């Protein structure tokens, strides 16, 4: 069993940096055409250029995943311009500034839920419509270690990421008989721009989070990308409704 995705079309949100960009490139290296989706117009163009440098076909799409009309248009353009939709990675997300629950502003909570949960729901809704017509497909959603346990000062983020796992597992049961596999990936502490913001980008801040990792280091975006591509491939053909933890032992 291999992770060869030649002839397939992948759709990646949050694709302009970190895990999203790494996964778009990993899909391209596995042979898939890739729709690169994000709110950052310059970023999607750059990721598309990198996909093409890997020898892949790319479609750059500017899309706010909290806007149902924009999501529908992005999925429809993927089908029209790349020829279908076989694999989706719903990865767009934002972090929560450190704050105890009572100190989280209402609008900040709403924004985190809108991007990290509603965005996944909207993408899945329109991806599933296409995959049902196509006779199958795979969806991987980004949750987190914070989708598996509580973290102090992260109540809004943890709530959204726990909900992504519930959404994933329920949808997996809804569509398994239709040849559509839905799973989630739960990254631990990954060395990305988001983590730099979370740690303040200082040596002390980075070391503080590394100390939470039994493996003694941060993960890399490529390590998450490899897991997503595997879940999207025939090699994972019997994996349904799973929240795959890739976290260096943080939640063990």
Catalytic residues: 157
Distance CA 143, CA 209 (A): 18
Distance CA 43, CA 63 (A): 12
In 3D space, the residue among 123, 93, 68 whose CA is nearest the CA of residue 17 turns out to be 93
Distance CA 216, CA 227 (A): 20
Distance CA 242, CA 175 (A): 14
The DSSP symbol for 13 reads E
Distance CA 138, CA 181 (A): 5
Contact 4/233 with Cβ under 8 angstroms? yes
Pairing relationship of beta strands 9-13 and 137-142 according to DSSP bridges: unpaired
Angle, helices 221-231 vs 18-29, to 10°: value is 50
Beginning with the edge strand found earlier in the chain, give each strand of the sheet holding 180-187 in spatial order.
Answer: 58-62, 33-38, 9-13, 87-90, 137-142, 180-187, 243-246
The DSSP symbol for 1 reads -
């Amino acid at each position: 069993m291999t992770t060869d995705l030649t002839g397939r079309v992948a759709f990646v949100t949050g694709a302009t940096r970190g895990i999203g960009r790494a996964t778009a490139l990993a899909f391209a290296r596995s042979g898939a055409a890739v729709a690169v989706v994000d709110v950052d117009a310059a970023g999607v163009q750059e990721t598309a250029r990198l996909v093409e440098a890997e020898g892949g076909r790319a479609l750059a799409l500017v899309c706010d995943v909290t806007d149902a009309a924009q999501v529908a248009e992005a999925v429809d353009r993927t089908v029209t311009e790349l020829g279908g939709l076989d694999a989706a990675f719903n990865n767009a997300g934002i972090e929560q500034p450190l704050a105890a629950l009572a100190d989280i502003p209402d609008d900040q909570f709403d924004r985190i839920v809108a991007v990290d949960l509603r965005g996944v729901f909207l993408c899945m809704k329109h991806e599933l419509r296409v995959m049902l017509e196509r006779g199958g497909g795979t969806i991987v959603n980004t949750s987190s270690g914070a989708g598996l346990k509580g973290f102090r000062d992260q109540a809004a983020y943890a709530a959204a990421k726990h909900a992504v796992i519930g959404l994933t597992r329920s949808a997996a049961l809804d569509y398994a008989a239709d040849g559509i596999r839905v799973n989630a990936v739960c990254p631990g502490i990954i060395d990305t721009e988001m983590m730099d913001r979370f740690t303040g980008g200082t040596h002390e801040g980075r070391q503080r989070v590394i100390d939470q990792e039994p493996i003694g280091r941060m993960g890399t975006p490529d390590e998450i990308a490899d897991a997503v591509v595997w879940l999207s491939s025939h090699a994972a053909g019997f994996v349904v409704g799973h929240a795959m933890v890739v976290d260096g032992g943080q939640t063990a």
